[in-house]
Amino acid sequence: MLYTPIKFRNVELKNRWVMSPMCMYSCENGMANDFHFVHYGSRAQGGTGLIMVEATGVEPQGRITNHCMGIWNDEQAEKLQRITEFVHRNSESKIGIQLAHAGRKGSTWKNIQIPIEEGWETVAPSSIPYHPSERIPHALSADEIKELVQSFKNAAGRAVKAGFDIIEIHGAHGYLIHQFLSPLSNIRTDEYGGSFENRIRFLIEVVDAVNEELNQDTALFVRISGTEYAENGWDLESSVALAKVLKEHAVDLVDVSSGGNIHGAKISVFDGYQVPFAARVRNEASVKTCAVGLITELHQAEEILQQGEADLIFVAREILRNPYLAVQGSFEIGEDCFFPPQYDRAKISS
């Protein structure tokens, strides 16, 4: 199944291998550069079905660090378009982008909050810092929330114009949308806090706004944390319920990761440790999902798909180590996969 195509709207992926979005912390003023051109282009040359560009800030204060990517202006989008055009022209890969806002986890470097004169005032649903030693974030007003919804919409419009095939909204890992979802970081008493319906409101408004910028030629994914590993926090039951709502709002796939919102949460990490979260969301919400998290072997990935636990395999560290993971796997089992014609002399036949 790894080398079986799959469609989301009109976007067909040639195989189920996906490069997971991973921050590179290598931008100046949010701008992609030659490093990113080579970084993403090389994975497309390796046959990966979908390349996901790293978490990209929808506004300057939405970045994790001063060196994170942005798409809050047209110049940034033009730099990214150079990458999408290369991928489309020189491979069979599709390319997506993850739109993000770090919220209270922004203005940092190497996981440490930097002085405000070097960074910025962070924002959150409530005035609760991620770590007690950090500055108290500004609690967003309802009007400011509406402005952020518009920022996501504007960023999606730029991403479509720049040639991206898939837009992913980052609602995981303790960043702003996740902060709204969790009752541990969201103690608001207005329409954006309290009940499950209120806590998911910001995400649903973002989804609806982004969808206004899309058509059948651009698909929509949402990344969530299946659980945050904390008592009375966001959990797998909540994720299943959210996935059902996301499906009703024309989300094509739920990207199921975990953790990130509660400092010091105890997480048991092992090969494929997040796969059961994706499987439960997929099977109980009847929505397409991806599996991610310490998936490193061809046969491990194939088994996940065969058992109906996910529809895509998101690979992170392993594809940093090996940009040619997809095509090498195809050599191993005799499946077809894109390989640059310039490299034909190195092709291994089954």
343 occurs within a structural domain: no
347 occurs within a structural domain: no
pLDDT given for residue 349 in this prediction: 56
Dist. CA 29–CA 37, nearest whole Å: 17
pLDDT given for residue 350 in this prediction: 45
Q: Which domain does 221 fall in, by range?
A: 6-336
Residue-wise pLDDT tens digits, 2-44: 999 999 999 999 999 999 999 999 999 999 999 999 999 999 9
Q: Pick the closest to residue 58 from 144, 152, 126, 150 (CA basis).
A: 152
143 occurs within a structural domain: yes
Q: Write the CATH number for 50.
A: 3.20.20.70
Q: Residue 242 is which amino acid?
A: L
145 occurs within a structural domain: yes
Dist. CA 341–CA 343, nearest whole Å: 5
350 occurs within a structural domain: no
Helices (H), the chain: 34-45, 74-90, 142-161, 176-181, 196-199, 201-211, 236-248, 275-285, 298-306, 317-321, 325-333
80 occurs within a structural domain: yes
Q: How many domains does the chain have?
A: 1
348 occurs within a structural domain: no
170 occurs within a structural domain: yes
Q: Residue 210 is which amino acid?
A: V
Q: In a structure prediction context, what are the per-residue pLDDT tens digits for the chain, which is 350 residues long? A: 999 999 999 999 999 999 999 999 999 999 999 999 999 999 999 999 999 999 999 999 999 999 999 999 999 999 999 999 999 999 999 999 999 999 999 999 999 999 999 999 999 999 999 999 999 999 999 999 999 999 999 999 999 999 999 999 999 999 999 999 999 999 999 999 999 999 999 999 999 999 999 999 999 999 999 999 999 999 999 999 999 999 999 999 999 999 999 999 998 888 899 999 999 999 999 999 999 999 988 999 999 999 999 999 999 999 999 999 999 999 999 999 999 999 988 886 54
pLDDT given for residue 10 in this prediction: 98
Q: Which residues are 223's β-sheet partners?
A: 170, 255
